[in-house]
Structure 1
Amino acid sequence: MKINKIQIKFFLILVLGYFIFSYFIIFWIGLCAKGGIYWAFADEHLNFIKVYRHFLIGGAGLICDTFGLTYLTNDTAIRIIGYGGIKIVYSCLGYGIISIIISLALAVPNQKIKLRILFLIIGTVAFSLLNMIRLFVVSYYAHLAKRLSIDHHLIFNAFCYLLILIGMYWWIRKAESSKLKA
């Protein structure tokens, strides 16, 4: 049996990268959340998680503005007046999906650094836009979602991972075809 070093390297970078980035974010949440190992300086000056949550809430608010809906927001929630709302907890942020996008950008073999950065930016922005749409839709249909017991996290994550797999397949095929042309 022949060992394919490129595939093993890809797999190791993808899996290790995912765990490193994902657990780093969990660690940082622990630093910035009061209690436990709380570090006030990190919470006040280095809390990129709070900034990202505000970004997502702001984007969902822009969607509300687009449809002429009145809404209220605070640091962790959005409520559409007359429809419903959602509290954006840490699991709503999608740091696992962002971690896999980063890891994938690092792991795919035979790609130039410029293409890796482009994939990282496009993947993260696309995921963030999808997440904003999800937050809006869940807030808008909150009353219906409660009655149907829909697990929007599971559905959204499955959809995003499917898109990531399609993107990964496309990117790897593109790298192979450009390698064959060279």
Structure 2
Amino acid sequence: MSEITTQQAKQQADKKVIKFIVMLFILYIVFSQGNIFMNSMMSPGGKYYNAYLADHFNYIQGLKNAIIIPAIWLIKLFGFYAIHNEQDVMVVNGPLLRISYSCLGLGVMSFLAAFVLAFPTSWKETIKMLVVGIAGIYFLNICRIAGLGILFGAFRSQHKYFEYHHEIFNVLVYIIIFVMLYIWIKKNTTAASKSKFSSYNGNH
């Protein structure tokens, strides 16, 4: 087996990095803009609204429901009475929280999915990270909505201090995701290095 020179190894590494960055950019644009486009198709009054898709394939509303209903359960668990419709969470004698598209965390999910799919590793590890990461974002989003309902219900005068909860949530989630990705990348890079080392020794 011929040895790979340092220069060749560096060139291969550079190609992998470039491929990763290009794939990350393309996938993120496809996922993020695709979700925005689908939201327009499924929202009455949207530029590309399609009644058939809205009635039969409205995953945007499905995600809203999947966030609103558990958030209502959590709010009630803390002793507050809350009701909801398709896009609002209302705590009686407390706040009215409107769950818009920007509340769903699809932008963060799009980045996570693009990064994990672009990163060169096994499909098993890719799928595992996708499931754990998206489930984590979803759980944190439920906690955010429920937390706002409970906080504003208990301290109604504090509402004005939380106008930037979307930005705070995004920063918090991105920090958590970056930590998760760092651990995941380190684990997979170490495993790949060990595999290559074992393969190299097995051929000598």
Q: In which range does the TM-score fall when normalised by the shorter chain?
A: over 0.9
Partner in structure 1 of residue 187 of structure 2: 174
In structure 2, give the amino acid aligned to 1:136.
Answer: A
TM-score when scaled to structure 1?
Answer: 0.93
Higher relative CO (CA 8 A, sep ≥ 6), structure 1 or 2? 1
Task: Give, in angstroms, the shift of residue 144 of structure 1.
Answer: 4.1
CA distance in 2 between partners of 1:39 and 1:150 (Å): 33
Task: Give, in angstroms, the shift of residue 65 of structure 1.
Answer: 3.2
Q: Aligned with 2:169: secondary structure?
A: helix
1:87 and 2:104 correspond? no
The size of the alignment, in residue pairs, is 181
CA RMSD of aligned residues (A): 1.6
**Structure 1 stretch displaced more, 79-88 or 115-124:** 79-88
Q: Aligned with 1:34: secondary structure?
A: coil
Task: Give, in angstroms, the shift of residue 130 of structure 1.
Answer: 0.3
Percent identity reads 29
1:46-65 equivalent positions in 2, closer than 5 A: 46-65=57-76
CA contact (8 A) 2:88 2:97 kept: yes
Task: Give, in angstroms, the shift of residue 119 of structure 1.
Answer: 0.8
Partner in structure 1 of residue 200 of structure 2: none
Distance 1:145 1:8, change over 3 A: farther
CA distance in 1 between partners of 2:192 and 2:116 (Å): 18
Q: List alignment gaps of at least 5 residues for structure 2.
A: 1-6, 196-204
CA distance in 1 between partners of 2:30 and 2:119 (Å): 17
TM-score when scaled to structure 2?
Answer: 0.83
1:95-114 equivalent positions in 2, closer than 5 A: 95-109=106-120, 111-114=121-124
CA distance in 2 between partners of 1:6 and 1:86 (Å): 45
1:6 and 2:16 correspond? yes
Q: Which has the larger radius of gyration?
A: 2
Q: List alignment gaps of at least 5 residues for structure 1.
A: none
CA contact (8 A) 1:84 1:141 kept: no
CA contact (8 A) 1:85 1:140 kept: no
Partner in structure 2 of residue 28 of structure 1: 38
Q: Aligned with 1:141: secondary structure?
A: helix
Structure 1 segments, 4+ long, off by >4 Å, are: none
In structure 2, give the amino acid aligned to 1:130.
Answer: L
Query: Quick one: which of 116, 122, 132 aligns to 1:122?
Result: 132
CA contact (8 A) 1:85 1:138 kept: no
CA distance in 1 between partners of 2:157 and 2:20 (Å): 43
Task: Give, in angstroms, the shift of residue 46 of structure 1.
Answer: 0.4
CA distance in 2 between partners of 1:124 and 1:144 (Å): 33
